[in-house]
Structure 1
């Protein structure tokens, strides 16, 4: 049980670092872009939202891949594809899809789910931030 907890928290930490890297990448990409598109507010909002969505989606896919690697390395699924499926199911909090050997570990699934909830919340917060930063300019063009 302690081993599962240590493994799960370690993967969660690495997943958080991936999300942090994605967030920092957005900051690096969007700051110069913001200055170039200062007067094209509609296009700027669209590009900012699309970029945020794509970067965060890529981060989620990488994070699920980490969980899938862990499941596969522990032999929690019969096939590698099943390990990634189980990781997606847990990370997105859909529940077990019959592909993970639940009896062998009781903590990795819930830890993957908790990690997914937190990372989806982080992504949602970034999307809200983009809208908050750009929406006032959108509304000002209507006046």
Structure 2
């Protein structure tokens, strides 16, 4: 192991760790706001005839908003790459960032040699963010679906 190489990675860690913390905080706060709005929107009226349509619309909107959160967070990383001179332009920086965050990695883009560890750390950040999003969407399904069951139970008890 080259001690000089290890020293050059310190900058990657110094930039990446705060970016990871920042994007996770933004993501968690954003998901919390989305979650509150979803529960209020669905909880106000559960009409069993239109439940599936409303459920699909709400989950679609929730997925879209979560995707926008990922785009904002990718933009934060892209801005850092541009600031550091790790990538030549905004378009390339955003494409690289989303590619790294999703661990897609098929774009023929590379960070300046000096900042390559930072790209791997962004991929780690992406795993955390997508894990949070997956848990959140599952939680939304677990929160919304029982509302339908309660409405069906209430309808049956009023008929009897």
TM-score in terms of structure 2 length: 0.77
Q: Distance in 1 between matches of 2:149 and 2:29?
A: 31
Deviation at 1:109, TM superposition (A): 0.7
1:124 aligns with 2:134: yes
Aligned to 1:9: 17
Deviation at 1:100, TM superposition (A): 2.4
1:55 aligns with 2:65: yes
1:31 aligns with 2:39: yes
Any idea what SS the aligned residue of 2:27 has?
Answer: helix
Q: Please, which of 68, 79, 85 is the counterpart of residue 89 of structure 2?
A: 79
Quick one: structure 1 residues 135 and 35, their matched pair in 2 at CA, closer, same or farther if it must change by over 3 Å? closer
Corresponding residue pairs, total: 143
1:88 aligns with 2:110: no
Is the CA contact 2:46–2:147 (under 8 Å) kept in the aligned structure 1?
no
Aligned to 1:110: 120
Q: Which is greater in Rg?
A: 2
| Runs of 5+ consecutive residues of structure 2 not aligned to the other structure | 1-8
Is the CA contact 1:48–1:130 (under 8 Å) kept in the aligned structure 2?
no
Query: Superposition RMSD on alpha carbons, in Å?
Result: 2.3
Q: Which stretch shows the higher mean deviation, 62-71 or 80-89?
A: 80-89
Deviation at 1:102, TM superposition (A): 4.5
TM-score in terms of structure 1 length: 0.85
| Runs of 5+ consecutive residues of structure 1 not aligned to the other structure | none
Deviation at 1:138, TM superposition (A): 4.6
